[in-house]
Amino acid sequence: MQGVGGVAWTSKQPKMTQPDLDFVSPEVQLVSAAASPASDVFSYGQLVCALFTEPGRSLIQAEHNVTAYARQIDKVRRICSDTQ
């Protein structure tokens, strides 16, 4: 199954027209890869976490800041590589 092209977050557009970084998969935002079913599963998982946690926020708290998003994703990668 082929991925679908998506738009990565950019400061050139108003925030209202941007994807919410708290729910965007890393490959779409950081690598500019096409969105795939795996990207959808990642976003769905973030949504489920937001629905069942207090105060209803995603595990990633980027707040429309690409640098903060990249730092949090890098932190997750380090944690995952340390556990292997």
Q: 19-57: per-residue pLDDT in tens? A: 888 888 888 888 877 788 888 999 999 999 999 988 888
2, pLDDT greater than 80: no
Whether the bond into 37 is cis, omega within 30 of 0: no
Predicted confidence (pLDDT) at residue 3 exceeds the cutoff of 60: no
pLDDT at 70 over 60: yes
Nearest Cα to Cα of residue 46 among 14, 77, 75, 24: 24
Q: What is the pTM of this model?
A: 0.72
79 vs 70, 75, 82, CA distance in Å? 14, 6, 5
pLDDT of residue 53: 87
pLDDT at 79: 86
CB hemisphere CA count around 40 (13 angstroms): 6
